[in-house]
Amino acid sequence: MKKQLKRKHFRGLRLVNRFPHFILIGRPIGAALYPQCTRSNVAANTITLSKRTIDALKPGAERFDVFDKSLRGFSLRVHPSGRKSFRFKYVHCSRQRVITIGEYGAPWTAESARIQAQKLRGLVAAGVDPADQRKPERSQAKSTLAEVIERWLSEGRAAAPNKRDSSWANDASRLRRHIVPLLGARPAESLRRAEIEAAQRDIAAGATAADVRTGPRGRARIRGGAAVARGAIVSLSACLSWAVSAGLIAANPAAKVKKFAAEKRERFLSDAEMARLLDAIAELKAKGIVRPAFGDALVLLLLTGARKSEIAQLTWAEVDLDRALINLPRLRAKAGAKSIVLSAPALELVAAQPRVSPFVFPSPRDPSKSIVGIQKVWQQVRRAAKLEGVRVHDLRHSFASAAAADGASLLSIAKVLGHAQVSTTARYSHLADGAARAVADRVGARINAAASRPRSASASGQPLTSAARSAEQ
C-alpha cells in the first residue's frame, strides 16, 4: 500500500513540475497530494466563455489564459489588475500568432468577441493572416500629430480646392512652428482638448518664439502673442477636421476649444501721413535704398486697396490696360475671382513698368519670379516716413477710409475691396458719417427749395415739406 502511494505521489509530482500551467477540473494535477502547488483563485483552463463564467474568474498573482470550449483558439486573458481581454490564437505559415480582440466590457461581450474570433478564424482558413489586415489600422491609430499634419498639408488640398496657396503656406507655418514643437510627438488619436488649450496659452506666452535661419539670406523671427496663438489653433482645428473625415481619428478635440478673441487693428493714414509715405518711397528709390519694383508695389497697394499678395504676385495676364482693370482669378483672391479698378494714377504706374517678366513686379535677382520680402522693404519705408506701428495691410484700410470719407457707400467699398460680405466693410461706416450728413443736407435743401416754389409746383408732383404744405393751406 505504501509503495502504491509513493508511486502515485511521485507521478503527481512529476506531472506538476512538467506541466504547472495545465489545469483540470478546477485543480492542478496532484493538488490533492501537493496543496502548495495550486494557484489560488484560478479557474479551469477550458470553459465555455460567457458573462457568468467570465465574471466568476478572479485575478491571481500572475496573468493567465482561459480558452473557450466551443471555438478553438478563442480565449480570455485575466490580468492581476483584474483587467480581462479577449484574444484569438492561430497558426499561419507554421507560425503561432495571437491577436487581441478587445477588453471585456462594452463593446466587447463574450458573444460579440466570439463572433469576431469566428471571422478571424475564417480569414486564417482562407490563407489570410489577420495580423496583416490590422496593420494599416494600427499605423493610423498610432500616428503622431506631426505625421497627421504633414499628411494634411500634402493630401488635404484635394478636399479644399478653393483654398489659396498662400492660405496653405500660412497653415504650414503656424503648425510647424508652433503646434509641432508642443504637441507633435503626441498620438493624434489620444490628443485631448485640455492639451490644445494649454498649447494655446503657451504660444501666446511666447513658448514657441524663436529666431531661425531659413537660408543663406533668409531669417524667420517667430513670435508669440494672442493673435498668433489663435491662428495656430484655427489651423490645427482645420487639420483635425480633415483627419476625422479621412478616418485617422474619431473626433476633433480642437473643435470646442475657446480661441482667444481676434484683435481688431484699424489704422487709417491721414492725408498728411499718406503724403509722408509717398515722399519717403520716392526718396528711398532715388537713393537706391529701395528698388523700383518694391517701391511701386507699395504705392499701388495704397492706390488700389488690394491685398499684399494680390499686387506682389500680379502678372501681366491679369492686367487689362485698355479697360483699366486688374482681373484676379478665383485662386488669387481671398473671396473668389474679382476685378480691381485702376484709377488714373494707378493705371499710369502699372503701364510704366518694364515688361521683362511675366510678373508686373519681378524679383531683381530672378525676373522669372515675383518680388518677395516686401515686408522687409516696408520696415525701411515705415521708418523713413515716421509711421511706426503701421502695417502693410493698413494701406488697404487707408484706401477704404478715404473712399468712405469721400462719400462712397459701404456697398461700393465692399465691391472695390473684394469683400464677400458687406458686414466686413461695416468697420468703415463711422468714417462715412460726415459724407452721409453732407448728402442728407443736400437732399434736405433740395426738398425745401421745392417747397418754396409756387402752388403750381405741387401739382407737378414736386415733394413738399410739412411746413410748406401748411403754408399753402
Q: Which residue has the higher pLDDT, 39 or 407?
A: 407
Q: What is the reported pLDDT for 457?
A: 44
Instruction: State the residue for C-alpha cell 488649450.
Output: 197
Q: Are 29 and 19 in contact (CB under 8 A)?
A: yes
Which amino acid does the sequence have at 330?
Answer: R
Q: Does the residue 260 lie in any domain?
A: no
Q: What is the mean pLDDT of residues 118-130?
A: 89
Q: What is the reported pLDDT for 339?
A: 84
Cβ atoms within 10 Å, residue 259: 16
Q: Does the residue 315 lie in any domain?
A: yes
Can you give the length of the chain in residues?
Answer: 473
Kindly report, residue by residue over 210-263, the tens digit of the pLDDT: 877 766 666 667 778 888 999 999 999 999 999 999 888 889 999 989 988 866
Q: Does the residue 458 lie in any domain?
A: no
102 plus 157 within the same structural domain: no
The H or E element containing residue 325 is strand 325-328
- H, E, C per residue of 399-423: HHHHHHHCCCCHHHHHHHHCCCCHH
Q: Which of 245, 262, 290 is the last residue of a domain?
A: 245
Residues 126 and 467: their CA atoms lie apart, in Å, by 99
155-169 b/e (C-beta count within 10 Å ≥ 16 → b): ebeeeeeeeeebbbe
Q: Which residue has the higher pLDDT, 87 or 433?
A: 87
Domain, as residue range, for 284: 271-434
402 plus 296 within the same structural domain: yes
Q: Which of 107, 133, 159 is the last residue of a domain?
A: 133
151 plus 127 within the same structural domain: no
Q: What is the reported pLDDT for 303?
A: 86
Q: Which of 245, 279, 310 is the last residue of a domain?
A: 245
276: closest CA among 389, 388, 385? 385
Least confident of 146-150, 209-213, 224-228, 345-349: 209-213
Q: Does the residue 470 lie in any domain?
A: no
CATH of the domain at 317: 1.10.443.10
Q: Are 36 and 17 in contact (CB under 8 A)?
A: no
Residue 18 has pLDDT above 70, yes or no: no
280 plus 335 within the same structural domain: yes
Q: Are 76 and 99 in contact (CB under 8 A)?
A: no
168 plus 303 within the same structural domain: no
Instruction: State the residue for C-alpha cell 492660405.
Output: 167
120 plus 234 within the same structural domain: no
Q: Which residue has the higher pLDDT, 417 or 286?
A: 286
Cβ atoms within 10 Å, residue 392: 21
Nearest-Å Rg of the Cα atoms of the chain is 38
Q: Does the residue 367 lie in any domain?
A: yes
Residues 9 and 190: their CA atoms lie apart, in Å, by 55
Query: What is the three-class DSSP state of 126?
Result: coil
182 plus 160 within the same structural domain: yes
Q: Name residues whose C-beta falls within 8 Å of residue 464's C-beta, 6 or more positions apart in sequence.
A: 447, 450, 451, 457, 458, 472
149 plus 129 within the same structural domain: no
Kindly report, residue by residue over 290-342, the tens digit of the pLDDT: 999 999 999 998 888 888 888 889 999 999 999 988 898 877 877 677 888 88
337 plus 408 within the same structural domain: yes
403 plus 347 within the same structural domain: yes
Kindly report, residue by residue over 429-445, the tens digit of the pLDDT: 555 455 555 656 666 67
Residues 301 and 278: their CA atoms lie apart, in Å, by 12
Kindly report, residue by residue over 39-78, the tens digit of the pLDDT: 433 344 889 999 999 999 999 899 999 999 999 999 999 9
Residue 198 has pLDDT above 50, yes or no: yes
CATH of the domain at 113: 3.30.160.390
User: Running DSSP on this structure, what letter comes out for residue 262?
Assistant: P
Q: Does the residue 223 lie in any domain?
A: yes
Q: How many domains does the chain have?
A: 3
129 plus 57 within the same structural domain: yes
* Percent of the chain whose pLDDT exceeds 90: 33
Please, what is the average pLDDT of the chain? 78
55 plus 113 within the same structural domain: yes
Q: What is the reported pLDDT for 6?
A: 46
CB-neighbour burial class of residue 109 (10 A; exposed 0-12, middle 13-18, buried 19+): middle
Q: How many angstroms separate the first and last alpha carbons of the chain? A: 145
